[in-house]
Amino acid sequence: MSKENRPQIGGKIRRLRRQRQVSQGAVATAIGISASYLNLIEHNRRNITVPLLFKFAGYFGIEAGELAQSDDTQLVGDLMEVFGDELFVDSDLTNQDIRDLAANNPVAARATLHLFDKYRAQQQASVSAPNANASKGSNPSSASPHHQATDAISDFVQENANFFPTLETAAARVRADIDNASSDFAGGLRTYLRNVFGLDWQGSSLPHGIARRISPDGRRLEISNILPPETAIFSAAHHAGLLSGENEINAIIEQSTLPQNDAPALARNVLASYLAAALSMPYDPFFKACRDYRYDVERIARQFGTSFEQVCHRMTTLQRPDATGVPLHLIRTDIAGNISKRFSLSGIHIPRHSGACPRWNVYSAFLQPGRTNIQLSQMPDGETYFCIARSFEKGGFRHNAQRRHFSIGLGCHISQADRLIYSDGIDLTKDTQIVPIGVGCRICPRMACEQRAHPPANHRFKIDDDERAESLYGRI
């Protein structure tokens, strides 16, 4: 096996070990190597032999082929996007240089991403308020723009493969108490909140923009009575998660490497949402439903009384070693192209700093509201993915209130497509059905694309006065 083709799986081994809360020493002893050698493997500083690969796979209870799939795909993609910026236009970096950085020193690679995030944040801050810091006499580096925290949370979720075993355990414990109180989840949750935390869950007429609050006397959990039932129940479950999983949530945050700005507070909210999903869609019955109904989102949503978006999110968390779901990616965008959620286990690269390629069906889904759009998407590296997307609305339940428009994209590698019901009736081998897509125009190598919004970062274009292309950047 050549050096280029050797699997760089240190990140995956480290993640699996942390998920099981096992020390390096314990794993090393079981495998028959030293803890220091395992540390080098986890940081991709030692190549892994085939016999050792099988030993790790046996220890973690997964297939060797699954273990050999690199966890660094998203990291490489993020680095490609960063080095595609005009800031590096005069650098002689090649794609292989970037892959080597991600494979050989992922810690330095992620530090590079965070450094670039800070650069972008301060660049944007100086454009919007160039004299703000000077007038206040503050240190510009002390500002922590909100999007910096959201990028950190996105990385945090990705590094943990969106699976938090201690929260699953906490959810199973709480759900047992809820089920003992009532056969109906909402009724049991209401009883649980009252008996354990002394809170009466009530539907209330809350001020515009407020979905949930604790009453001034601290005795009532007030949920806006204009929310859809599944949203109201999830909101109550979210608060139950904050209260019942406080210790587990705090422990996860303390053990993380999240920056000390807004990130811990945002992580607390994200982890409470994870717990709420685990409460309303318990792992074992949800996994069974996904397997039996082949990831039919609408059918599963009806079974659990949840929304399309909630089910899609929960599907991405099915990473328990003894019951692992399809490795999925998820993207959520608004109608302006702003990506608010991104996660990938399928291998597809979702852009970090900009909108994705307009050819992605997550954008065309806005043209067909309420319909599940299906696409075979091929990235420039030749990998093909099976993707579904659906647009939906939020808010606007009051008269004349503004509604928010979102689209959710969910997908997997083409090799896993037959496990999703949406692939039925589609010839997955037919090249004519494949849509060539990219990450973003700045780093996309597809030269002849009529939907280009920008030229590639490392190319220049010429305008021919005698012959005009359909798109200004369509010919470079």
pLDDT digits (tens, 9 = 90+) for 341-380: 999 989 888 887 666 788 999 999 999 998 999 999 999 8
Most confident of 111-125, 135-149, 192-206: 192-206
Query: What's the token pair of residue 102?
Result: 């991600």
Q: Set out the domains of the chain in order of their start, with CATH numbers.
A: 10-71 (1.10.260.40), 147-280 (1.10.10.2910), 446-476 (no CATH)
* Residue % of the chain over a pLDDT of 70: 85
Contact 423, 430 (CB under 8 A): no
Average pLDDT over residues 387-396: 88
Average pLDDT along the chain? 85
Neighbours of 83 (CB within 10 A): 22
Report the DSSP pairing between strands 373-378 and 434-436: parallel
Dihedral, CA atoms, 265, 268, 270, 271, nearest 10 degrees?
A: 160
The rounded distance, in Å, linking the Cα atoms of 71 and 207 is 45
pLDDT greater than 90 at residue 289: yes
pLDDT band at 440 (very low <50, low <70, confident <90, very high): confident
What's the pLDDT score for residue 397?
Answer: 57
The rounded distance, in Å, linking the Cα atoms of 213 and 405 is 24
pLDDT greater than 70 at residue 93: yes
Task: Extract the runs of DSSP E, i.e. beta strands, from 323-381.
Answer: 323-324, 328-334, 339-344, 373-378
What's the pLDDT score for residue 13?
Answer: 87
Average pLDDT over residues 180-190: 97
85 or 173, greater pLDDT: 173
55-64, 89-98, 208-217, 262-271: which range is least confident on average? 89-98
What's the pLDDT score for residue 172?
Answer: 98
pLDDT greater than 80 at residue 445: no
Most confident of 96-100, 348-352, 443-447: 348-352
- Environment class of 397 (CB within 10 Å of its CB; exposed 0-12, middle 13-18, buried 19+): middle
pLDDT greater than 50 at residue 150: yes
Query: What's the token pair of residue 233?
Result: 């129940």
Report the DSSP pairing between strands 200-204 and 220-224: parallel
pLDDT band at 410 (very low <50, low <70, confident <90, very high): very high
What's the pLDDT score for residue 251?
Answer: 96
* Residue % of the chain over a pLDDT of 90: 49
What's the pLDDT score for residue 135?
Answer: 42
CA angle centred on 108, ends 57 and 59, rounded to 5°: 10
pLDDT band at 139 (very low <50, low <70, confident <90, very high): very low
Neighbours of 60 (CB within 10 A): 19
64-73, 294-303, 347-356, 441-450: which range is least confident on average? 64-73
Q: What is the pLDDT of residues 186-233, one digit of tens each?
A: 999 999 999 999 999 999 999 888 999 999 999 999 999 999 999 999
The two most distant CA atoms of the chain are separated, in Å, by 79
Could you give phi then psi for residue 358, rounded to 5 degrees?
-65, -10
